[in-house]
Structure 1
Protein backbone atom coordinates (compact mmCIF):
# COMPACT_ATOMS: atom_id res chain seq x y z
CA UNK A 1 0.00 0.00 0.00
CA UNK A 2 1.24 3.50 -0.85
CA UNK A 3 1.95 5.27 2.43
CA UNK A 4 3.31 8.56 1.12
CA UNK A 5 0.99 11.15 -0.35
CA UNK A 6 2.62 12.23 -3.57
CA UNK A 7 2.72 15.71 -5.01
CA UNK A 8 0.86 16.03 -8.30
CA UNK A 9 3.95 17.39 -10.06
CA UNK A 10 6.10 14.49 -8.86
CA UNK A 11 3.45 12.00 -9.94
CA UNK A 12 3.24 13.57 -13.39
CA UNK A 13 7.04 13.48 -13.75
CA UNK A 14 7.22 9.80 -12.81
CA UNK A 15 4.31 8.87 -15.05
CA UNK A 16 5.91 10.72 -17.98
CA UNK A 17 9.14 8.81 -17.46
CA UNK A 18 7.32 5.50 -17.21
CA UNK A 19 5.15 6.43 -20.20
CA UNK A 20 8.08 5.52 -22.45
CA UNK A 21 7.93 1.81 -23.36
CA UNK A 22 11.69 1.34 -23.20
CA UNK A 23 12.04 3.00 -19.78
CA UNK A 24 9.03 1.13 -18.40
CA UNK A 25 10.44 -2.19 -19.60
CA UNK A 26 13.87 -1.30 -18.22
CA UNK A 27 12.32 -0.53 -14.83
CA UNK A 28 10.47 -3.86 -14.83
CA UNK A 29 13.70 -5.71 -15.63
CA UNK A 30 15.73 -3.77 -13.06
CA UNK A 31 13.12 -4.38 -10.38
CA UNK A 32 14.43 -7.96 -10.24
CA UNK A 33 17.86 -7.89 -11.90
CA UNK A 34 20.93 -5.69 -11.93
CA UNK A 35 21.87 -4.84 -15.51
CA UNK A 36 24.73 -3.13 -17.22
CA UNK A 37 24.33 -0.87 -20.23
CA UNK A 38 25.63 -3.49 -22.66
CA UNK A 39 22.93 -5.93 -21.61
CA UNK A 40 20.21 -3.32 -22.09
CA UNK A 41 21.65 -2.40 -25.50
CA UNK A 42 21.39 -6.06 -26.48
CA UNK A 43 17.83 -6.42 -25.14
CA UNK A 44 16.42 -3.30 -26.80
CA UNK A 45 18.60 -3.33 -29.93
CA UNK A 46 19.31 0.39 -29.65
CA UNK A 47 22.54 2.32 -29.31
CA UNK A 48 24.53 2.61 -26.12
CA UNK A 49 24.00 6.43 -26.03
CA UNK A 50 20.22 5.92 -26.27
CA UNK A 51 20.22 3.45 -23.34
CA UNK A 52 22.48 5.78 -21.35
CA UNK A 53 20.03 8.66 -21.91
CA UNK A 54 17.13 6.57 -20.60
CA UNK A 55 19.17 5.55 -17.56
CA UNK A 56 20.28 9.14 -16.96
CA UNK A 57 16.67 10.34 -16.84
CA UNK A 58 15.77 7.63 -14.35
CA UNK A 59 18.93 8.17 -12.30
CA UNK A 60 18.49 11.96 -12.19
CA UNK A 61 15.21 11.45 -10.31
CA UNK A 62 16.80 8.87 -8.05
CA UNK A 63 14.58 6.06 -9.36
CA UNK A 64 17.60 4.03 -10.47
CA UNK A 65 20.87 3.50 -8.66
CA UNK A 66 24.21 2.44 -10.01
CA UNK A 67 26.93 0.26 -8.57
CA UNK A 68 30.44 -0.02 -9.94
CA UNK A 69 31.80 -3.55 -10.22
CA UNK A 70 35.32 -3.38 -11.56
CA UNK A 71 35.18 -1.34 -14.75
CA UNK A 72 31.44 -1.91 -15.23
CA UNK A 73 28.47 -0.05 -13.80
CA UNK A 74 25.32 -2.01 -12.98
CA UNK A 75 21.91 -0.41 -12.64
CA UNK A 76 18.95 -1.40 -10.48
CA UNK A 77 15.82 0.20 -9.13
CA UNK A 78 16.29 2.32 -6.04
CA UNK A 79 13.85 0.56 -3.75
CA UNK A 80 14.55 3.06 -0.99
CA UNK A 81 13.16 5.96 -3.06
CA UNK A 82 10.19 7.55 -1.31
CA UNK A 83 7.96 6.88 -4.32
CA UNK A 84 9.06 3.30 -4.93
CA UNK A 85 5.80 1.93 -3.46
CA UNK A 86 3.91 3.84 -6.18
CA UNK A 87 6.26 2.59 -8.90
CA UNK A 88 6.10 -0.93 -7.51
CA UNK A 89 2.31 -0.94 -7.86
CA UNK A 90 2.67 -0.08 -11.54
CA UNK A 91 5.40 -2.67 -12.15
CA UNK A 92 3.37 -5.41 -10.48
CA UNK A 93 0.73 -5.00 -13.21
CA UNK A 94 3.25 -5.83 -15.95
CA UNK A 95 4.28 -9.24 -17.26
CA UNK A 96 7.66 -10.60 -16.26
CA UNK A 97 10.56 -9.60 -18.49
CA UNK A 98 12.80 -12.45 -17.35
CA UNK A 99 12.57 -14.00 -20.81
CA UNK A 100 14.65 -11.12 -22.18
CA UNK A 101 17.51 -11.92 -19.82
CA UNK A 102 17.10 -15.66 -20.41
CA UNK A 103 17.52 -15.01 -24.15
CA UNK A 104 20.77 -13.14 -23.42
CA UNK A 105 22.02 -16.05 -21.34
CA UNK A 106 21.20 -18.48 -24.13
CA UNK A 107 23.08 -16.28 -26.61
CA UNK A 108 26.01 -16.05 -24.22
CA UNK A 109 25.73 -12.27 -23.98
CA UNK A 110 24.15 -11.96 -20.52
CA UNK A 111 27.46 -11.39 -18.78
CA UNK A 112 29.66 -10.47 -21.73
CA UNK A 113 30.86 -7.27 -20.09
CA UNK A 114 31.50 -8.58 -16.62
Structure 2
Protein backbone atom coordinates (compact mmCIF):
# COMPACT_ATOMS: atom_id res chain seq x y z
CA UNK A 1 0.00 0.00 0.00
CA UNK A 2 1.04 3.54 -0.72
CA UNK A 3 -0.71 6.08 1.51
CA UNK A 4 -1.10 9.52 -0.03
CA UNK A 5 -2.25 12.51 2.02
CA UNK A 6 -4.20 14.71 -0.40
CA UNK A 7 -5.08 18.37 0.09
CA UNK A 8 -8.15 19.41 -1.90
CA UNK A 9 -8.18 23.04 -3.00
CA UNK A 10 -6.02 24.05 -0.01
CA UNK A 11 -9.08 23.60 2.21
CA UNK A 12 -9.54 19.92 3.01
CA UNK A 13 -7.36 16.87 3.70
CA UNK A 14 -8.21 13.27 2.89
CA UNK A 15 -6.31 10.02 2.43
CA UNK A 16 -5.87 8.08 -0.79
CA UNK A 17 -4.44 4.57 -0.57
CA UNK A 18 -2.88 2.94 -3.63
CA UNK A 19 -3.74 -0.69 -2.95
CA UNK A 20 -1.40 -2.69 -5.18
CA UNK A 21 -2.97 -6.02 -4.24
CA UNK A 22 -6.45 -4.95 -5.33
CA UNK A 23 -5.25 -2.65 -8.17
CA UNK A 24 -7.44 0.15 -6.89
CA UNK A 25 -7.14 3.53 -5.23
CA UNK A 26 -9.10 3.73 -2.00
CA UNK A 27 -10.28 7.11 -0.70
CA UNK A 28 -10.98 7.86 2.95
CA UNK A 29 -12.60 11.28 3.23
CA UNK A 30 -14.06 12.28 6.60
CA UNK A 31 -16.49 14.70 4.90
CA UNK A 32 -17.29 12.44 1.93
CA UNK A 33 -16.81 15.40 -0.42
CA UNK A 34 -17.91 14.65 -3.93
CA UNK A 35 -15.50 17.04 -5.62
CA UNK A 36 -14.57 14.94 -8.65
CA UNK A 37 -11.19 14.18 -7.08
CA UNK A 38 -9.21 16.27 -9.60
CA UNK A 39 -6.48 16.70 -6.97
CA UNK A 40 -6.16 12.93 -6.66
CA UNK A 41 -6.15 12.48 -10.46
CA UNK A 42 -3.28 15.00 -10.73
CA UNK A 43 -1.32 13.20 -8.00
CA UNK A 44 -1.83 9.82 -9.68
CA UNK A 45 -0.68 11.24 -13.03
CA UNK A 46 2.49 12.50 -11.33
CA UNK A 47 3.17 9.13 -9.75
CA UNK A 48 2.40 7.43 -13.06
CA UNK A 49 4.97 9.60 -14.83
CA UNK A 50 7.67 8.33 -12.46
CA UNK A 51 6.47 4.72 -12.67
CA UNK A 52 6.68 4.93 -16.47
CA UNK A 53 10.26 6.18 -16.17
CA UNK A 54 11.12 3.28 -13.88
CA UNK A 55 9.38 0.83 -16.22
CA UNK A 56 11.32 2.12 -19.23
CA UNK A 57 14.54 1.50 -17.33
CA UNK A 58 13.35 -2.00 -16.30
CA UNK A 59 13.32 -1.02 -12.62
CA UNK A 60 9.74 -2.14 -11.92
CA UNK A 61 9.23 -5.78 -10.95
CA UNK A 62 7.66 -8.05 -13.56
CA UNK A 63 5.34 -9.25 -10.78
CA UNK A 64 3.48 -5.94 -10.95
CA UNK A 65 1.71 -6.28 -14.29
CA UNK A 66 -0.89 -3.52 -14.03
CA UNK A 67 1.19 -0.43 -13.34
CA UNK A 68 -1.15 2.18 -14.87
CA UNK A 69 -2.57 3.80 -11.74
CA UNK A 70 -4.53 6.31 -13.79
CA UNK A 71 -6.74 3.45 -15.03
CA UNK A 72 -7.41 1.90 -11.62
CA UNK A 73 -10.83 2.24 -10.00
CA UNK A 74 -11.17 4.91 -7.33
CA UNK A 75 -13.22 3.47 -4.48
CA UNK A 76 -14.77 5.69 -1.79
CA UNK A 77 -14.40 3.80 1.50
CA UNK A 78 -16.80 5.93 3.57
CA UNK A 79 -20.45 6.30 2.61
CA UNK A 80 -21.38 9.13 4.98
CA UNK A 81 -19.51 11.98 6.62
CA UNK A 82 -18.02 11.29 10.04
CA UNK A 83 -16.47 14.73 10.53
CA UNK A 84 -18.83 17.11 12.34
CA UNK A 85 -16.73 20.28 12.35
CA UNK A 86 -14.90 22.30 9.72
CA UNK A 87 -11.33 21.95 10.95
CA UNK A 88 -10.37 18.41 11.95
CA UNK A 89 -9.96 16.80 8.51
CA UNK A 90 -6.16 16.61 8.91
CA UNK A 91 -6.53 14.71 12.18
CA UNK A 92 -8.98 12.30 10.57
CA UNK A 93 -6.51 11.76 7.72
CA UNK A 94 -3.73 10.88 10.18
CA UNK A 95 -6.02 8.41 11.97
CA UNK A 96 -6.99 6.87 8.62
CA UNK A 97 -3.27 6.39 7.90
CA UNK A 98 -2.88 4.68 11.25
CA UNK A 99 -5.94 2.43 11.21
CA UNK A 100 -6.79 1.61 7.58
CA UNK A 101 -5.78 -1.97 6.75
CA UNK A 102 -6.52 -1.89 3.02
CA UNK A 103 -9.91 -3.48 3.65
CA UNK A 104 -11.39 -1.61 6.61
CA UNK A 105 -10.59 0.58 9.57
CA UNK A 106 -9.16 -1.57 12.35
CA UNK A 107 -10.55 0.87 14.92
CA UNK A 108 -13.78 2.91 14.67
CA UNK A 109 -13.01 6.60 14.18
CA UNK A 110 -15.57 9.22 15.18
CA UNK A 111 -15.48 12.96 15.81
CA UNK A 112 -15.39 12.29 19.57
CA UNK A 113 -12.32 10.04 19.12
CA UNK A 114 -10.45 12.80 17.25
CA UNK A 115 -10.44 15.09 20.30
CA UNK A 116 -8.99 12.50 22.71
TM-score range, shorter chain: under 0.3
TM-score for the superposition, normalised by structure 1: 0.27
Larger radius of gyration: 2
TM-score for the superposition, normalised by structure 2: 0.27
